[in-house]
Amino acid sequence: MNLTGKTAVVTGGSRGIGRSICLELARSGANLVFCYAGNSAGAEETAAECSRLGVQALPVQCNVADPEDVKALMETALNAFGRIDILVNNAGITRDGLLLTMKESDFTAVLDTNLKGAFLCLKAAARTMMKQRCGRVINISSVVGLRGNAGQVNYAASKAGVIGLTKSAAKELATRGITVNAVAPGFIDTDMTAVLPESARTALLGSIPAGRLGQPEEIAHAVAFFAGDHAAYITGQVLAVDGGMSM
Ligand code: NAP
């Protein structure tokens, strides 16, 4: 994959899947602006690792659910590099709980970060991409958005929403040379899944045909594919990277 000279904006790059995406895009030659919610130490580590790969990587503290923060994030990319070629909407949170006891605030927080955040970033970056008449948007959904999951009505709704956002934006933007695709990870080994109780992990493992958790790099490879030249004629698609879990 050769992304030399391209500029990528990645949300949630301070750890987990987002960090792996930053590193994979950096390895392919893209300069980066990536955001994080509060973990500045993690963000500095990502930036340092990207720099060692020979590209520029600028961390920005930004709440993706805040339109002013998102505006500042995109301005940082434009001021530094003059264009936005790739947007990866990766930032996400969970606030799990059963339907009948889920607080409205936990529902709203997850929708705000996972879905509204992706909408705000897509809207902001699409303005620039339309002027450029090219762009690649990759939204991180989830196997839970495809299949649902007990204890995650908020998260499942947000990730199913990301798929609707992806397909609708893909239809709107296709004639401008902009592709919009989604990657739906399965059960990936990050902080997000590390908090699951052992019983839940064992049950989840049993539902994965591949018989193992995925690694963040395996999601990053799919993202880099959608960002690269070989995916120019692919838009509005959802690629499950889940060891067969969603079959
Ligand atoms: P993670 O390890 O918990 O990392 C989440 C990242 O998002 C961090 O960089 C965090 O920043 C950032 N973030 C959270 N809220 C934010 C906000 N409001 N504004 C900006 N950044 C914010 O999560 P992950 O496991 O890597 O997951 C990454 C994406 O993949 C998420 O969208 C998740 O839903 C999706 N996914 C994950 C799995 C899985 O099994 N892990 C499966 C399917 C889908 P800080 O470090 O500053 O907090």
* Residuewise pLDDT in 10s, the chain (247 residues): 899 999 999 999 999 999 999 999 999 999 999 999 999 999 999 999 999 999 999 999 999 999 999 999 999 999 999 999 999 999 999 999 999 999 999 999 999 999 999 999 999 999 999 999 999 999 999 999 999 999 999 999 999 999 999 999 999 999 999 999 999 999 999 999 999 889 888 988 999 999 999 999 999 999 999 999 999 999 999 999 999 999 9
The DSSP code sequence of 40-87 is HHHHHHHHHHHHHTTS-EEEEE--TT-HHHHHHHHHHHHHHHS---EE
The answer to whether the CB of 61 is under 6 A from ligand 1 is no
Q: What's the confidence (pLDDT) of residue 11?
A: 99
Q: How many angstroms is it from 157 CA to the middle of ligand 1?
A: 16
CATH 3.40.50.11540 applies to domain 7-240: no
- Indicate if 36 belongs to the active site: no
Q: How many angstroms is it from 194 CA to the middle of ligand 1?
A: 12
Q: What's the confidence (pLDDT) of residue 200?
A: 85
What are the residue ranges spanned by the domains of the chain? 7-240
Tell how strand 178-185 and strand 238-241 pair up: parallel
Q: What's the confidence (pLDDT) of residue 76?
A: 98
The answer to whether the CB of 157 is under 6 A from ligand 1 is no
Alpha-carbon distance of 143 to 159, in angstroms, equals 8
Q: What's the confidence (pLDDT) of residue 241?
A: 98
User: For atom 41 of ligand 1, which residue has the closest CA?
Assistant: 188
Contacts of 25 (CB under 8 A, 6+ apart): 3, 8, 10, 32, 86, 88, 220, 223, 224, 227
Facing residues of 9 across strands?
33, 87
Choose, from 81, 155, 187, 226, the residue flagged as catalytic. Answer: 155
Global pTM exceeds 0.95: yes
Angle between helix 16-27 and 40-52 (nearest 10): 20
Residue 105 neighbours by CB distance under 10 Å: 9
The answer to whether the CB of 145 is under 6 A from ligand 1 is no
Residue 104 neighbours by CB distance under 10 Å: 8
